[in-house]
Amino acid sequence: MGSTPDISKGEGFIRTYDLFEHLLDDVYKSLEMMLSDKESQYLRRVFVRNVFACIEGIVQILKYEISKDIRLGRYCVELTNKEKEVLYEEKYRNGDRTKIFIPIDKNVKKTFFVAGKVWGLSCFSLNTDGEKYRAFLKAKETRNRLAHPRTYYDIDITDTEIDAVGKAFEWVRSSFLSLMKEKVKSVSSELPDNVLNGLKNA
């Protein structure tokens, strides 16, 4: 178990912004280290692991923000049972609540969809038709192989695989930032002019 929040210092339980910044920093630092020693398989593996830790973290940050907005009544949207399963990663069976595992590719797509639905962002659509999404699927295979190695070759990361992992990271990172930008624009459009002007002049 990791560290716990210090409430006396005003620390929150999730600290989503700190989480995002630290995950990004891990990716960039591991990329810098890997580029300084391109033949190191160890540094390649570190980069892959950090990229997918960041991707997993982004998904959880989104779920937290969506859940918080629903809990606080900021958005009133009826979610289907399947969408609730995605959001809370659990399902009810015979009155019992059980945790479920959602593969990362499905988790990314479905969480972004639920975010757009809850926040009313009809203008946002996750692009799953391009090269970066195909690279993401390839990168997922590399990460899965690395996480469950059976032979030496399972932990050997090629240049092509590193390229795919980099594109996967950029796809998720840019999609997340685009989504959050659209959310901010949506919220801003509903604020009175005097509040908007105050924010611009702050």
Average pLDDT per consecutive 10 residues, the chain (202 residues; last block may be shorter): 50 75 97 97 98 97 94 90 95 85 97 96 92 97 97 97 98 96 81 51 48
- C-alpha span between 5 and 3 (Å, rounded): 7
Q: How many CB atoms lie within 10 A of CB 125?
A: 13
| pLDDT of the residue at 32 | 98
**What are the two backbone dihedrals, phi and then psi, of residue 68, each rounded to the nearest 5 degrees?**
-65, -45
Give the C-alpha separation, 168 to 55, whole Å. 9
pLDDT of residue 202: 43
* Model pLDDT, residue 11: 40
Residues 43 and 37: beta-carbon distance below 8 Å: yes
CA 127 – CA 178 distance, rounded (Å): 11
Predicted TM-score (pTM) of this structure:
0.86
Closest CA to 171 of 114, 125, 131, 122: 131
148/150 Cα distance (integer angstroms): 7
Rounded to an integer, what distance in angstroms lies between the CA atom of residue 104 and that of residue 116?
18
Residue 92 forms beta bridges with which residues?
97
Distances (CA, A) of 67 to 20, 70, 88, 89, 163: 17, 5, 8, 12, 34
Task: Please tell me the predicted confidence (pLDDT) of residue 15.
Answer: 82
Beta pairing partners, 61: none
Question: Distance between CA atoms of 43 and 160, rounded to whole angstroms?
Answer: 15
Torsion sign over Cα 42, 45, 51, 53:
negative
Distance CA 15, CA 6 (A): 12
